[in-house]
Chains A and B, each alone.
Chain A
Amino acid sequence: GDSVTQMEGPVTLSEEAFLTINCTYTATGYPSLFWYVQYPGEGLQLLLKATKADDKGSNKGFEATYRKETTSFHLEKGSVQVSDSAVYFCALTGGGGSQGNLIFGKGTKLSVKP
């Protein structure tokens, strides 16, 4: 079945460092891809999305490009801040023909030190 694989965390970076969180997927058809972020004690927030191959999603300095040839959707940010410390989830729309069945990766915890 469809699945998402994220790099294992935790990831610890210094402020202003470059961030990459790898995400690869296995899916039939053409899923939409998402990155969600979860801050401590809160629900998930949609960070960015891409709905077709070669689309680039971007938000708050974060970017990810839908690469069908490598089945990847890596998250990048050029200069992280302490406030970016959170857990990041890569996800895709699952089967069943609906958008509401999201399949998530295990999450990657990011800690940014001042």
Chain B
Amino acid sequence: KAGVTQTPRYLIKTRGQQVTLSCSPISGHRSVSWYQQTPGQGLQFLFEYFSETQRNKGNFPGRFSGRQFSNSRSEMNVSTLELGDSALYLCASSLATGNTNYGYTFGSGTRLTVV
């Protein structure tokens, strides 16, 4: 069974540019969440999608956005990149049906470097 796939694995962008990261969840998983991981701030929640709807959003500026498609694949976009956006971006997916908490399976992440 394929895991959570994130592309690309590594990305180098220049300040002011925008970037789009992609996440393919485990087959059958309808919930996708995104996290930013940095040495200083640790793991911080960005947003969560379920059936193409954003269910929850973390405390990040509007430059960070995301969406989910009908096949549950998700993308996140960061516009007007800043040096501080350099981080490992992790996507996670879950069955998340009803009240049962299955936990989330994470991808290997996209390492974004802003220069």
Contacts and interface: CB of A to CB of B under 8 A. Distances in A.
A101 B58 contact: yes
Interface stretch (A10-18, A73-81, A89-97): A89-97
A36 B47 CA distance: 19
Contacts of B96: 99-100
A49 B101 CA distance: 9
Interface residues of B, number: 26
Give the dominant DSSP class at B's interface. strand
Contacts, number: 72
A95 to B, nearest CB: 8
How many chain A residues sit at the interface, stated as a range, is: 20 to 34
Contacts of A66: none
Contact of A43 (B48, B56, B106): B106
Interface in B47-84: 48, 50, 55-56, 58
A96 B56 contact: yes
Nearest to B9: A41
Contacts of B107: 43
A100 B42 contact: no
A100 B56 contact: yes
B43 A98 contact: no
Interface string B80-115: 000000000010101010000101111111000000
Interface of A: 32, 34, 36, 41-46, 49, 51, 89, 91, 93-94, 96, 98-107
7 contacts: A32-B101, A43-B106, A49-B101, A98-B50, A101-B33, A101-B58, A102-B104
